Amino acid sequence: MINFDLTLWKEYCANPDFRKFLNGCRHFDPIGFDQALKRDENSNVLEFRRVIVEAYRDDLRVMAVGQEPNTCQA
């Protein structure tokens, strides 16, 4: 598990590839995705954001060895 805070989230959001990944995740359930982000923000826990970043990092590791990612790549 990564040490996660809002600063790290903002750093990832500055990355165009991560934003593409986010859009792919949002595509599956736009309303649920936005609601989960809002709940995350209101709770100050950022668990949903942490899970998204970890999924993105997992996809990067998988793609680095030439395999297909299995999460939100659009």
* Per-residue pLDDT reduced to its tens digit, 14-68: 999 999 999 999 999 999 999 999 999 898 888 999 999 999 999 899 888 776 6
Q: pTM score, two decimals?
A: 0.79
Q: Token pair of 15, please?
A: 């990355």
Cα–Cα distance, 24 to 30 (Å, whole number): 10
The DSSP 8-state label assigned to residue 5 in this structure reads -
The DSSP 8-state label assigned to residue 66 in this structure reads T
Confidence of residue 74 (pLDDT cuts 50, 70, 90): very low
> Do residues 58 and 71 lie in contact, with contact meaning Cβ atoms separated by under 8 Å?
yes
> Do residues 59 and 51 lie in contact, with contact meaning Cβ atoms separated by under 8 Å?
no
